[in-house]
């Protein structure tokens, strides 16, 4: 992986760049489509490409549980198995410890979990995570980390950070591939001294790029922005910074302004599946019947397939009757909206107009927004 | 509507034709996509067109209940509301009396039902059905009929047929549009004398085309074929014959051989949603994990998007994890399979090779088929 910075905004830390991987280029700032189990909810890969998706992130742990590594190997690796020839990230599986579905227990040597398919308890270690990610063969892979939720006490984050740092060393040691790039993950909750320590220690281990984990896990927006304010400047300027779990327009704009290059989040697809739509005037909901009499599209200023072809009435009708196409139309809209936002952000930075773009976007977005943003 | 017969098979009653409507031509024999609530399960309209879908059938009663006639009128009628510019059929709503969802009671003047959205009881009459179908503006509309299920006694079908004949007269009287074509429906259960009477009386009322209702509602295949053997020859040779509710390869081939021109059924999408796939070797199921280790596509002889791009393993993985794309890939396959079958049937008839085609197809299809066919 190579990362080249193209343009820097003069009034903020925003920047555009070009990330070169074995499977092609990624123009940054970029939103990475979340294909947790090998697919972005509701979307085929040609559809994703058509709306400007440059790369996806797959959860290595999920793919290991099912379909399993052997069948993926027999079909030629992850890219061929899911039939996506562009860059792929894999997440290590540490984030899954937050899911109650796996009844996880954190141990010194790894994370014990309950396999939902056979009900048995197993342990996933940094060694195992590296083995899985190497076998899957994604372009960019992640260290195995512990990702604690928001609201625990200082001591927990301190201890958790020690684990993540130990595991990071193991992962680094086991990673010799030049085809795959291993990324370090910064943890430390919302405690600025722990975040600082996390950065210092990760830089000692030395990775070609860094991700910020453990954010957007329940903390107030302002707290997340403060962590970014203090953490991003500590990271090397010539390496990619990936903010994991962030996918709302406001958070993306605030983070780009602070120097973040990469984002991934299930928010656009998850909220879409529940009837939540991005619009230029904030989040709009389709989980009630109020849209049924609206002749206008979801967002009259959107150029997506859904908005160009269907009324809010039709979308509401299908969504409320649980038709697959109802969810699809909303997800197509949300992802297109987000991909267009990223493109507009890159253009604004390249034109040295990012601050103005952000201000104009948020002025309209926040004024009428009643939902999450 | 105009119907022109193109070619007749010399060894059977199979024929190809061209059905001209206000919204374009339909080459017959044709399969009509079932868009009960305004959408074919899982598919957008451009996707349907791409795989060769020429026309769809929408349930007028469902569209009347929700989104309602007023919003459809405001958006320019049914074609514009759902954004499909090709021919549309509407079904009258009589078939819904079979659904337990509506707690229907058959009355002299119509069918009383419980509206699932407000819980109140209303009555739908032939007059109301005509009003709804006229307002929706589909190209081809249906008389309001009663469609009894299989297995009731002779007296029930006899009485039911009287109702349908009375309602057919009312519908015919109320229909003066030249933009829309009103089709008569033949009922009479599996009793050949009632089917004969139904045809005779419908011909007296006189419609530009006829549909066969009340078949494929639980009776054995052989019984349905026998009804076709006795009923189709009684109908005018120069008018379309539509067998409602039929959608398996075997039934379509048997009915085409007996002179049927049009088919509609939710089977390919409904069984697809439950993991059932057409293949040249019969129905294949994806509702268990056996496909997870299969590196081959659903049907190696199929040219659909799914079979050209994905292994059975990937389809199983997504379907079993309840991913929308899993259902989509199976539905795309089933509908493409069916549209290709219809195209091959038309080619075979035009080449006067239908009997040979049917025999070769069914030989392979029935030999290994373990499921429904």
Write out pLDDT tens, residues B71-103. Answer: 999 999 999 999 999 999 999 987 777 777 888
Tell whether B335 is covered by a domain.
yes
Answer yes or no: do A318 and B71 touch at CB < 8 A: no
Tell whether A329 is covered by a domain.
yes
Question: The tokens of B158 are what?
Answer: 């006899």
Asked if the model's pLDDT at residue B369 lies above 70, the reply is: no
Answer yes or no: do B67 and A313 touch at CB < 8 A: yes
Asked if the model's pLDDT at residue B372 lies above 90, the reply is: no
Interface test with A, best of B40, B67, B70, B82 (most A CBs within 10 A): B67
Q: How far is B287 from chain A (nearest CA, A)?
A: 15
Q: How many angstroms separate the CA atoms of A319 and A317, rounded?
A: 6
Asked if the model's pLDDT at residue A224 lies above 60, the reply is: yes
Residue A306 contacts residue A320 (beta carbons within 8 Å): no
Residue B334 contacts residue B40 (beta carbons within 8 Å): no
**For chain A, how far is it from start to end, CA to CA, in angstroms?**
33
Interface test with B, best of A325, A332, A334 (most B CBs within 10 A): A325
**CB nearest A75 (choices: B38, B313, B326):** B313
Q: How far is A134 from chain B (nearest CA, A)?
A: 20
**CB nearest B75 (choices: A41, A82, A311):** A311
Q: How many angstroms separate the CA atoms of B32 and B167, rounded?
A: 25
* pLDDT value, residue B370: 54
* pLDDT value, residue A372: 53
Same domain, yes or no: A38 and A156: yes
* A&B contacts, CB < 8 Å: 102
Domain boundary among B201, B235, B265: B265
Give the residue numbers spanning the domain of A143. Answer: 2-265
Residue B48 contacts residue B82 (beta carbons within 8 Å): no
Q: How far are the Cα atoms of A253, B6, B23, B56, B139 from residue B19, in angstroms, in the given order?
A: 55, 10, 11, 14, 11
Question: A323 CB contacts (<8 Å, ≥6 apart)?
Answer: B37, B39, B41
Same domain, yes or no: B130 and B170: yes
Interface test with B, best of A84, A297, A314 (most B CBs within 10 A): A314
> Which of A9, A139, A261, A264 does the annotation list as catalytic?
A264
Asked if the model's pLDDT at residue B135 lies above 70, the reply is: yes
Share of chain A above pLDDT 70, in %: 98
Residue among A60, A56, A61 at smallest CA distance from A41: A56
Cα nearest neighbour of B290 on chain A? A67
- Using a CB-CB cut-off of 8 Å, the residues of chain A touching B67 are 292, 313-314, 316-317
Answer yes or no: do B74 and A295 touch at CB < 8 A: yes
Q: How many angstroms separate the CA atoms of B339 and B315, rounded?
A: 21
Answer yes or no: do A324 and B41 touch at CB < 8 A: yes
* pLDDT value, residue B96: 73
Answer yes or no: do A317 and B38 touch at CB < 8 A: yes
Banded model confidence at residue B227, pLDDT cuts 50, 70, 90? very high
In this predicted model, what pLDDT tens digit does every residue of B245-288 receive, in sequence order?
999 999 999 999 999 999 999 999 999 999 999 999 999 999 89
Same domain, yes or no: B37 and B181: yes
Measured in residues, chain B has a length of 373
Beta bridge mates, A107? A110
* pLDDT value, residue A94: 75
Q: How many CB atoms within 10 Å of residue A186?
A: 31
> Does the annotation mark B91 as catalytic?
yes
Residue A60 contacts residue A66 (beta carbons within 8 Å): no
Domain boundary among A265, A293, A317: A265
Question: The tokens of A183 are what?
Answer: 């990324």
Tell whether A112 is covered by a domain.
yes
Tell whether A145 is covered by a domain.
yes
Asked if the model's pLDDT at residue B371 lies above 60, the reply is: no
Answer yes or no: do B313 and A37 touch at CB < 8 A: no
Q: How far is B81 from chain A (nearest CA, A)?
A: 7
List b or e across A88-110, with b for residues whose CB sees 16 or more CB atoms inside 10 angstroms: bbbbbbbbbbbeeebebeeeeeb
Measured over the CA atoms of residue A287, residue B48, residue B369 and residue B315, the dihedral's sign is negative
Does residue A163 sit in helix, strand or coil?
helix
> Does the annotation mark B206 as catalytic?
no
Q: What's the whole-model pTM score?
A: 0.96
E-only strand ranges, chain B: 2-8, 15-21, 24-28, 30-34, 56-59, 88-91, 105-106, 111-114, 121-124, 140-142, 181-186, 209-212, 240-244, 262-264, 276-277, 284-285
Measured over the CA atoms of residue A285, residue A286, residue A290 and residue A291, the dihedral's sign is positive
Residue B168 contacts residue B185 (beta carbons within 8 Å): yes
Share of chain B above pLDDT 70, in %: 98
Q: What is the DSSP letter of B315?
A: H
Q: What is the mean pLDDT of residues A247-255?
A: 97
Same domain, yes or no: A184 and A305: no
Burial grade of B304 (CB within 10 A; 0-12, 13-18, 19 or more): buried
Q: What angle do CA A182, A185, A191 make, to 5 degrees?
A: 170
Q: How many domains does chain A have?
A: 2
Strands A110-114 and A121-124: what pairing?
antiparallel
Does residue B201 sit in helix, strand or coil?
helix
Banded model confidence at residue A123, pLDDT cuts 50, 70, 90? very high
Residue among B15, B87, B76, B77 at smallest CA distance from B264: B87
Same domain, yes or no: A205 and A110: yes
- Using a CB-CB cut-off of 8 Å, the residues of chain B touching A295 are 71, 74-75
Answer yes or no: do B324 and A323 touch at CB < 8 A: no
Rg of chain B over Cα atoms, rounded to whole angstroms, equals 20
Same domain, yes or no: A254 and A305: no
In the numeric block, the tokens 């293949």 are attached to: B279
Does residue A334 sit in helix, strand or coil?
helix
List b or e across A231-261, with b for residues whose CB sees 16 or more CB atoms inside 10 angstroms: bbeebeeebbbbbbbbbbbbbbbbbbbbbbb
Tell whether A372 is covered by a domain.
no
Domain boundary among B265, B299, B322: B265
Residue B258 contacts residue B279 (beta carbons within 8 Å): no
* pLDDT value, residue A371: 53
- Using a CB-CB cut-off of 8 Å, the residues of chain A touching B321 are 37, 66
Chain B residues in contact with chain A using a Cβ-Cβ cutoff of 8 Å: 37-39, 41-44, 66-68, 71, 74-75, 81-83, 292-293, 295, 305, 309-311, 313-314, 316-318, 320-321, 323-329
Same domain, yes or no: A89 and A191: yes
> Which of B9, B91, B251, B261 does the annotation list as catalytic?
B91
Q: What is the mean pLDDT of residues A268-295?
A: 95
> Which of B9, B145, B261, B264 does the annotation list as catalytic?
B264
ipTM score assigned to the predicted complex: 0.95
Q: What is the mean pLDDT of residues A343-368?
A: 96
Q: How far is B124 from chain A (nearest CA, A)?
A: 21
Does residue B333 sit in helix, strand or coil?
helix
Residue B292 contacts residue A66 (beta carbons within 8 Å): yes
**CB nearest B67 (choices: A66, A309, A317):** A317
Answer yes or no: do B323 and A37 touch at CB < 8 A: yes
Q: How many CB atoms within 10 Å of residue A158?
A: 15
Asked if the model's pLDDT at residue A154 lies above 60, the reply is: yes
**DSSP annotation string for A165-213:** HHHHHHHHHH---SSSEEEEEE--TT-HHHHHHHHHHHHHH--SEEEE-
Asked if the model's pLDDT at residue A373 lies above 70, the reply is: no
Same domain, yes or no: B192 and B318: no
Tell whether A58 is covered by a domain.
yes
**CB nearest A313 (choices: B43, B44, B75):** B75
Q: How many angstroms separate the CA atoms of B315 and B321, rounded?
A: 10
Answer yes or no: do A313 and B42 touch at CB < 8 A: no
> Which of A91, A139, A145, A261 does the annotation list as catalytic?
A91
- Phi first, then psi: give them for residue A363, nearest 5 degrees: -60, -50
* pLDDT value, residue A287: 87
Question: A197 CB contacts (<8 Å, ≥6 apart)?
Answer: A161, A188
Answer yes or no: do A42 and B67 touch at CB < 8 A: no
In the numeric block, the tokens 């469902």 are attached to: B62
Question: B137 CB contacts (<8 Å, ≥6 apart)?
Answer: B77, B78, B79, B179, B180
Question: H-helix or E-strand containing A277?
Answer: strand A276-277
In this predicted model, what pLDDT tens digit does every residue of A316-331 receive, in sequence order?
999 999 999 999 999 9
Answer yes or no: do B318 and A39 touch at CB < 8 A: yes
Same domain, yes or no: B75 and B176: yes
Q: How far are the Cα atoms of A99, A132, A144, A161, B175 from residue A96, in angstroms, in the given order?
A: 5, 15, 11, 17, 62
Tell whether A373 is covered by a domain.
no
Answer yes or no: do A314 and B43 touch at CB < 8 A: no
Q: What angle do CA A66, A67, A73 make, to 5 degrees?
A: 130
Same domain, yes or no: B180 and B224: yes
Same domain, yes or no: B261 and B280: no
Residue among A351, A348, A259, A361 at smallest CA distance from A12: A259
**CB nearest B328 (choices: A66, A316, A324):** A324
Interface test with A, best of B34, B44, B272, B274 (most A CBs within 10 A): B44
- Chain-wide mean pLDDT for chain A? 96
Q: What angle do CA B121, B127, B131 make, to 5 degrees?
A: 95
- Phi first, then psi: give them for residue B91, nearest 5 degrees: -90, 145
Same domain, yes or no: A279 and A327: yes
Asked if the model's pLDDT at residue A370 lies above 90, the reply is: no
Answer yes or no: do A71 and B328 touch at CB < 8 A: no
The CATH number assigned to the domain holding B196 equals 3.20.20.105
Answer yes or no: do B71 and A313 touch at CB < 8 A: yes
Tell whether A232 is covered by a domain.
yes
* pLDDT value, residue A98: 72
Share of chain B above pLDDT 90, in %: 93
Asked if the model's pLDDT at residue A103 lies above 90, the reply is: no
Q: What is the DSSP letter of B224?
A: H
């Amino acid at each position: 992986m190579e990362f080249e910075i193209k343009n820097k905004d003069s009034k903020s830390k925003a920047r555009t760049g070009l990330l070169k991987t074995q499977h092609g280029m990624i123009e940054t700032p970029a939103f990475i489509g979340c294909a947790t189990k090998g697919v972005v909810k509701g979307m085929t890969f040609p559809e994703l490409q058509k709306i400007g998706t440059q790369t996806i992130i797959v959860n290595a742990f999920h793919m290991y549980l099912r379909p399993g590594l052997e069948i993926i190997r027999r079909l030629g690796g992850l890219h061929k198995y899911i039939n996506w020839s562009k860059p792929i990230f894999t997440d290590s599986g540490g984030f899954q410890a937050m899911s109650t579905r796996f009844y996880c227990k954190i141990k010194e040597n790894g994370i014990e979990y309950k396999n939902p398919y056979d009900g048995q308890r197993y342990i996933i270690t940094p060694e195992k995570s590296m083995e899985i990610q190497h076998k899957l063969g994604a372009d960019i892979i992640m260290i195995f980390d512990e990702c604690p939720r928001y609201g625990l006490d200082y001591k927990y984050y301190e201890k958790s950070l020690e684990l993540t740092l130990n595991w990071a060393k193991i992962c680094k040691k086991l990673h010799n591939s030049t085809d795959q790039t291993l990324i370090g993950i910064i943890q430390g909750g919302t405690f600025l001294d722990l975040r600082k320590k996390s950065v210092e220690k990760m830089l000692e281990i030395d990775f070609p790029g860094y991700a910020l984990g453990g954010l957007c896990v329940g903390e107030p927006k302002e707290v997340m922005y403060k962590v970014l304010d203090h953490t991003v400047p500590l990271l090397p300027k010539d390496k990619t910074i990936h903010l994991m779990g962030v996918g709302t327009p406001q958070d993306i704009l605030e983070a780009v302004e602070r120097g973040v290059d990469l984002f991934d989040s299930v928010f656009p697809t998850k909220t879409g599946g529940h009837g939540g739509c991005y619009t230029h005037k904030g989040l709009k909901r389709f989980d009630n019947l109020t849209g049924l009499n609206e002749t206008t599209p979801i967002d009259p200023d959107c150029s997506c397939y859904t908005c160009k072809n269907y009324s809010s009435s039709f979308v509401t009708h299908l969504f409320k009757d649980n038709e697959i196409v109802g969810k699809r139309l909303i997800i197509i809209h949300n992802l297109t909206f987000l991909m267009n936002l990223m493109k507009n952000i890159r253009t604004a930075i390249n034109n040295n107009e990012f601050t103005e773009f952000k201000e104009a976007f948020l002025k309209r977005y926040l004024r009428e927004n009643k939902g999450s943003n």
